Structure 1
């Protein structure tokens, strides 16, 4: 069985292929007790804590300095705010990028992080679960579980399982919270509407369709496929692409025994052009995995954490962060092309934002998220002082890039026309704690998000806005427009470094002779997301032990692709190791014109990288999309994870410390853009570079259950991220034998089309034989 453990979000830079695989460890009793605590303390987070075992630990807040390895300013301020009753109240909106909220969250995190022992940690976590704002509590706890060295291997549920409200529209949240599993009458309530619409012959009016579809609702669409006839999941597994790996586990039946699972349909793939044409991309921008990836990246490298203290500087935190921004924009642009759109709109300081956005989200306290109307003018409605600070930041960065140097407040001079200065640029753009001029750079990033969310410097009571939390901001098309400003600065820095010469790129003795790729096919499949935290019913305890006997699922259609495979033919004159990088990029723009390579380099996404031991002669080997080192398939759900932990606690299961499903890896299913039915032209680029033997990054770290955040061991080599597309391209020098371009097409297959055809022989029945 695969388990989702700690973190590994490496966008094609982790050399998992080259890592020796140590024997997977089995969790002992002590580990299982800790894991059980973390799963129970986050259950139904907006409800009162119901676990008596943990309530008794939460009666007192431990603030005595002797219980902590360090006691800093933020801890003192948090405790002072608590004594004065000035903490963000429970039930209020928490924004990780609201300055007042962040400072309190930082203090709470430090109380968790610097606790000398598990008992102190448990007491403070239980106390905070009872007394502290729910969003702030989860934010601080997640940071602690990720970064506290003693917690390697321990995990929390996925963020979309803890807070489904951040990821599913308000209609679904309302329905889920009203759900009554004992008096389940939804089917009878809708039966008449089903029959009136679905079972009458309207072919003389609608041509190929024999039912009326104009006013369809989501549940009616699912009814056609037989996916909500009784809303009770009769199957022994949850729907997902890799369900076979679960149902084939002999222990899975024991885990699921006695569990009643109910699902409700929620959809982003039909009838969504209600606000503007950008809504056509909502299946991508509102994808749970897409948004969770950005969230966990910013938890790994939280901007306010000190790089030296947490080891983040060893991971090239700033460079890694801005590289991820560039890759996210490139991947978004590919999806735009698949839907007929062109360039990501530019951001202008004094120009209206053409495309508005309505997130349709509701916070767990019942307050809806603010929306932005079409042709919105940020400048008119914002805080002018804050606006000027943000604008001045970009002006100042451009100025010292042009002059080539910058003198920090402490007198240090930085040469910004040298490659190693990339760390300074990355740190400045993220606005993290490692910037050399903290007075000027530290808070610009936070201020920009506060400004666009209409939040003032000292506001505590804040209206919900998607721009204030990492897990929601990628939903808004404006995110990509504004973040282009960040990558523009990054490209400007790279411009002054000049293109790579042929000598820089040439790998003597290595020639890529050919690469063949299997057919690239995308489609929509159906997945069940665990939203049991939304259940609004009583909890059952037997002999003091919680009985998890029901699960609520959100059944959703989402983009996926069929597995594909590369076959490499690479010639080497001698036995040597090389780093193979694989990139995917567009071929043409929205008008069908070839995009010049020097410009198009910004649109390539690195989908894989690995170390390969070449032998002298011709090397032929295969690499499957299932082997990509930075992606993962669907993860084990909250419900299943808890039940596995409990089974292991009873001595009936060996719980593996296995990182095969890291919870911040990029979703495998989003590697390819949607494509077209007739085939969308794209291109792969393959590049082999020397492997530096002195870069022995895997010598001391155990990769079976931890990802190495802050260890300096995460990347395949020390090359710049995105190499060789990270600099300007001189086409006279770029084409070398160890690089290889290949034209491909991505085909979209409508797997749901048959349900709309009169000839479909099993109307009202879902075809479970579909290849996930």
Structure 2
């Protein structure tokens, strides 16, 4: 009781405060340290006696919540009768029952009035809930509650490396025994790195390779294991942890949004379209078929461990049948809707799609995007395609996405009102674009595998320690920073929006080519000649690298000892796309030939600024104007090059080349 009283006293004074200059104070640091400890080896039993004591009971006093809703009541009833997901079971938010349980626990977190109530509920969930469900609900709260957003949550691939790495790597990492190394040394599968400068050197916050970094990491023994050979020609993309995690976080952010607006639906399908375009550009660069993808019946994958040693399987026949049937029905329904200009809704109401904005009602009805509407029974078993952490690793994902997007664009192209001519600028001409060399290379990077090590290595005499870390040295796709200069002439001064796409130089039909948006920006064009310089580091929607889980723990400890001012700008936005992947892998002996497409549109003074990079959709979606996201490729263009959107003085096609440099030692 004395310990619990002490915790209550501490909790009464805790509030999330930020010091001037963006430096975390002791209250922030205590919360961050708690978060690291509670998530450390989340798949294993909790060893911290303080948190075990605090988590004995879930807070059920309704006065401790802003709202105590039906979801919380249902969740509590299910727990009391033992109907919640078993702690060792495979968790997948695609499955309806898992989703509803996540929703219940999320509300027990999100609706708390104060930090202490949330603190106790987190400890309770860590002890009693399925770890996957627990992490999902906690992630949602930290994404959506403004007062806790400054807290840094480890990346999903640091919490569960086994869901992102091949089976052999996972097995070897789990066999690392720190005590044996101290006693005997000579571990052939690992190398100890003395005073290592971890790669990449440049991360958000610029903390690596600094005196503070060496001080923070002084007591940590660093082991490194090499990356295993990739089994797929496109493995450098399909197995990239940031590529995989991007889709996971994007869907996680949307998943529990109460009011799923038309804008949010449009944004989701736009992101899916961009992922598919980026994948197709990679296939084109590797001289693989990209215009028409095919279903792979015997899809190969590096064997993964997903949950309590359950192995991810390839797509089974039931999954293939279910998805194909779904797409065939959707295609038939859209075909009938276009022919009749009507649609029978699920509630039995028939609407005329040509009246007012009824086509948007049909769009929302026909093209769901939240997980629960895409569920299937086979999602209860680990399959690459059906798990949001691994779906981008499945090559069939892109085949299904391609089919879905073709139907989506087909529907939009028929019912979407024509773009007003007022968006096409007059008295303006894009004369040329100059671009610096486009160069990709394989960059070394260290991936933190510490959560694969046994938790016993990190607890001594009841104290939480971090004596060593395991990093895997990988090589990933990266590009050098580049700039481009637009040369534009105008007869008047006006605000103008520019969009720059990357695509292939081949094919007569634009409708079959992938267009990937590199950059979009608003600027003032003055009368006469204009030169507009843009740097790749300034492109919107992209993020850089972050410090590892081990480094985060060490910097928090250093700051708690008042030896370091902990900055609050060192985390990367979870829903931001990795900046280093905006270019496909270039050519070695011969360059990869590509094209840029530049289009200018008038500014309508209706720009909107959201916070979707942080997976926060409460303020809506960022956009420059009222044009559809992805314009002018959000629907099928009727006559390709003759279409107004892709011809005229306000557009420019430019041939470019991408080279790949081999920097590997």
Q: Please confirm whether the aligned pair reaches a TM-score higher than 0.5, indicating the same fold.
A: yes
Aligned-pair CA distance for 1:527: 0.7
Equivalent residue, structure 2, for 1:200: none
Equivalent residue, structure 1, for 2:252: 299
Quick check: 137-146 or 628-637, which moved more? 628-637
- SS of the equivalent of 1:538 reads helix
| 1:241–1:335 CA distance, 2 compared to 1 (3 A) | farther
Residues 635-682 of structure 1: per-residue CA shift (max 9 Å, x gap): 211111222223333333333332773233111121111132201111
The separation in 2 between residues aligned to 1:473 and 1:656, in whole angstroms, is 34
Q: Does 1:712 align with 2:623?
A: no
Structure 1 segment 310-709 matched on structure 2, within 5 A:
313=261, 316-343=263-290, 353-372=296-315, 377-378=317-318, 391-408=328-345, 409=347, 411=349, 413=351, 415=353, 421-422=359-360, 425=363, 428-432=366-370, 443-447=372-376, 450=377, 454=378, 462-497=380-415, 503-536=421-454, 538-540=456-458, 546-588=464-506, 594-600=507-513, 603-658=514-569, 661-677=572-588, 678-695=590-607, 697=609, 708-709=616-617
What 5-or-longer segments of structure 2 have no aligned partner? 1-19
Equivalent residue, structure 1, for 2:228: 267
Equivalent residue, structure 1, for 2:13: none
Q: Does 1:69 align with 2:29?
A: no
CA contact (8 A) 2:41 2:455 kept: no
The answer to which structure, 1 or 2, has the higher relative contact order (CA under 8 A, 6+ apart) is: 1
Aligned-pair CA distance for 1:398: 4.0
Quick check: 164-173 or 505-514, which moved more? 505-514
CA contact (8 A) 2:264 2:621 kept: no
Residues 412-466 of structure 1: per-residue CA shift (max 9 Å, x gap): 836368788457525742344xxxxxxxxx954113xx4xxx35xxxxxx43222
**Number of residue-to-residue matches in the alignment:** 638
The separation in 2 between residues aligned to 1:502 and 1:305, in whole angstroms, is 32
The separation in 1 between residues aligned to 2:628 and 2:177, in whole angstroms, is 54
Q: Does 1:155 align with 2:152?
A: yes
TM-score, length basis structure 1 = 0.76
The separation in 2 between residues aligned to 1:406 and 1:286, in whole angstroms, is 41
- SS of the equivalent of 2:310 reads coil
The separation in 2 between residues aligned to 1:745 and 1:596, in whole angstroms, is 21
Aligned-pair CA distance for 1:382: 6.1
CA contact (8 A) 1:346 1:481 kept: yes
Aligned-pair CA distance for 1:318: 0.5
| 1:484–1:187 CA distance, 2 compared to 1 (3 A) | farther
The separation in 1 between residues aligned to 2:334 and 2:70, in whole angstroms, is 30
Equivalent residue, structure 1, for 2:3: none
Residues 182-208 of structure 1: per-residue CA shift (max 9 Å, x gap): 323998565xxxxxxxxxxxxxxxxxx
CA contact (8 A) 2:546 2:570 kept: no
Aligned-pair CA distance for 1:132: 0.6
The Cα RMSD (Å) is 3.1
CA contact (8 A) 1:318 1:426 kept: yes
Residues 528-565 of structure 1: per-residue CA shift (max 9 Å, x gap): 01111111253556897633232111211112222221
The separation in 1 between residues aligned to 2:654 and 2:243, in whole angstroms, is 27
Structure 1 segment 713-732 matched on structure 2, within 5 A:
714-729=622-637, 730=639, 731-732=641-642
- SS of the equivalent of 2:306 reads coil
The separation in 2 between residues aligned to 1:537 and 1:613, in whole angstroms, is 57
Residue in structure 2 matching 1:253, options 185, 189, 214: 214
What 5-or-longer segments of structure 1 have no aligned partner? 1-22, 191-218, 220-229, 273-278, 433-441, 456-461, 589-593, 753-765, 767-772
- SS of the equivalent of 2:367 reads helix
CA contact (8 A) 1:429 1:445 kept: no
Residues 499-532 of structure 1: per-residue CA shift (max 9 Å, x gap): 9679355212332222111111222121101111
The separation in 2 between residues aligned to 1:117 and 1:391, in whole angstroms, is 50
Equivalent residue, structure 2, for 1:195: none
Aligned-pair CA distance for 1:578: 2.3
CA contact (8 A) 1:530 1:553 kept: yes
Equivalent residue, structure 2, for 1:239: 199
Quick check: 164-173 or 45-54, which moved more? 45-54
Residues 127-157 of structure 1: per-residue CA shift (max 9 Å, x gap): 1111111111111111111112332222310
| 1:336–1:552 CA distance, 2 compared to 1 (3 A) | same
Structure 1 segment 72-87 matched on structure 2, within 5 A:
72-87=69-84
Aligned-pair CA distance for 1:67: 2.5
- SS of the equivalent of 1:709 reads coil
Equivalent residue, structure 2, for 1:280: 233
The separation in 1 between residues aligned to 2:524 and 2:364, in whole angstroms, is 33
The separation in 1 between residues aligned to 2:518 and 2:21, in whole angstroms, is 27
The separation in 2 between residues aligned to 1:332 and 1:416, in whole angstroms, is 35
Aligned-pair CA distance for 1:725: 2.0
- SS of the equivalent of 2:618 reads coil
